[in-house]
Amino acid sequence: MSAPHTPVLLDEVVEALDPRPNDVLIDATFGAGGYTRALLDRGATVHAFDRDPDALSSGRTWRETEKNPPRLFLHPHRFSQMFDVMAEAGVAKVDGVVMDIGVSSMQLDQPHRGFAFSADGPLDMRMSQDGASAADFLNSADEKAIADVLYEFGEERQSRRVARAIVAARPLETTGELARVVRNALGYRPHDKKDPATRSFQAIRIYVNGELDELSQGLSAAEHLLREGGRLAVVSFHSLEDRIVKRFLREASSTPSASRHVPMAAQDDPVFTKISKAIKPGESELARNPRARSSVLRHAVRTAAPARVAA
């Protein structure tokens, strides 16, 4: 039984979670199932979440061909909902949670999903395959709303210029059309190191899927689900995501102010400890998988302190 894609920082994630036989773990972003497969191989029981119906189809095949008693439970839900879903499943606490944030390789490699501009496809970008698509947003929103999305979620400095070009080119129906509009607006040259359309595609995808809110709510859900000694591992792929994870862990560990001029306020007991530094892939992994280049892993261990107010 194998997954079609190897997840980034796999060895480091498994080491951080330290799965043992009979542990109950959550793979919050099942994707192609790479992390789940590794955790199952260590004897753990895995509850896997994914809002993308295509992603869970491979997991159902695993269950059908698994010779051992099934230790894989599939949940077609957003990972922000995992606290309520696990309660319905009769699971109050878990031993570990892994989250791999952002778009999966499977989604990027399928032109009809509309996540990438490497091959032309419909301007979709919906992870759950329902609700408003990228085309719906770009063809109906006003110029300011589009510019705000590009600036906030893509850190596009020329967001107003790009938004103006998008509105002028409407209606847009394909990823190729959008990429051409952005490149023309920003003066793309074929030898440029990074395609300028990358930032706009990232921003629109994050907005359409509500990814940053999903991440914040998912971290809160993990805090409530992890038992004392339970482990959290989060892999992110760009600064906006990593900033949220870093801030969450800093606040959850009640790290005091670094300034000696600021009086230390009374703080609650930390809910996470053993906060790792940012872990990045090594050269051998980058040689195998260039997409891993921007990935960052952060992990921590849950304490006995009560969880903070739920999201």
In terms of domains, do 31 and 168 share one? no
Q: How many CB atoms lie within 10 A of CB 139?
A: 15
Rg from Cα positions in the chain: 20
The whole-number average pLDDT for the span 245-266 is 66
> What CATH number is attached to the domain comprising 155?
1.10.150.170
Phi and psi angles of residue 181, each rounded to the nearest 5 degrees, phi first: -60, -45
Categorize the per-residue pLDDT at 114 as very low, low, confident or very high, splitting at 50, 70 and 90: low
The whole-number average pLDDT for the span 56-64 is 71
> What CATH number is attached to the domain comprising 39?
3.40.50.150
What is the domain range of residue 35?
A: 10-106+214-302
Tell me, yes or no, whether 291 lies in a domain.
yes
Tell me, yes or no, whether 148 lies in a domain.
yes
Q: Is the pLDDT of residue 178 over 80?
A: yes
Sign of torsion, CA 87 88 91 94?
A: negative
Split into its structural domains, the chain has a count of: 2
Tell me, yes or no, whether 235 lies in a domain.
yes
Categorize the per-residue pLDDT at 70 as very low, low, confident or very high, splitting at 50, 70 and 90: confident
In terms of domains, do 125 and 99 share one? no
Q: Which of 209, 240, 273 is the last residue of a domain?
A: 209
64 or 79, greater pLDDT: 79
- Segment 253-262, tens digit of pLDDT: 974 544 444 4
The region of weakest confidence among 9-18, 35-44, 187-196, 208-217 is 187-196
The whole-number average pLDDT for the span 213-238 is 97
The region of weakest confidence among 210-224, 253-267, 274-288 is 253-267
Burial class from Cβ neighbours inside 10 Å (0-12, 13-18, 19+) for residue 44 reads buried
In terms of domains, do 22 and 72 share one? yes
In terms of domains, do 130 and 146 share one? yes
Q: Is the pLDDT of residue 60 over 50?
A: yes
Q: What is the mean pLDDT of the chain?
A: 87
Tell me, yes or no, whether 2 lies in a domain.
no
In terms of domains, do 286 and 163 share one? no
Tell me, yes or no, whether 309 lies in a domain.
no
Tell me, yes or no, whether 131 lies in a domain.
yes
Alpha-carbon separation of residue 118 from 52, 103, 134, 252, 263 (angstroms): 21, 15, 17, 39, 53
The region of weakest confidence among 33-37, 98-102, 170-174, 192-196 is 192-196
In terms of domains, do 200 and 240 share one? no
Tell me, yes or no, whether 76 lies in a domain.
yes
Tokens representing 33 are 């199932």
In terms of domains, do 131 and 276 share one? no
Instruction: With CA atoms as reference, report the closest residue to 124 among 205, 200, 189.
Output: 205
Residue 5 confidence (pLDDT): 64
pTM score, whole prediction: 0.88
Residue 268 confidence (pLDDT): 66
Residue 28 CA neighbour count, 13 Å, CB half = 30
